[in-house]
Amino acid sequence: MLLHAHGEDVLRVKGLVEVGDKGPVVLNGVQHIIHPPQHLQKWPEGSEPPEDLSL
């Protein structure tokens, strides 16, 4: 939704998102273009999901 609404104002979006039992998903986008998500088997070493996150 962020890139759909403000794509030309957003330079880059990157992130690891926990989606449940299937493991994390890598998100990567540039302006209004989102690349296909990449599903990982497990979190990369040293980058486990935080207990809580505030934006």
Look over the chain and give the mean of its residue pLDDT values, rounded to a whole number: 78
Task: Indicate whether 40 pLDDT > 50.
Answer: yes
Distance set, CA 45 to CA 6, 20, 29, 34, 51 (Å): 33, 18, 23, 25, 16
Q: What is the mean pLDDT of residues 34-38?
A: 90
* pLDDT band, very low/low/confident/very high, at 6 (cuts 50, 70, 90): confident
Cut 0.85: pTM above it: no
Which range (2-6, 25-29, 38-42) has the least confidence?
2-6
SS3 state at 27: strand
pLDDT value at position 54?
47
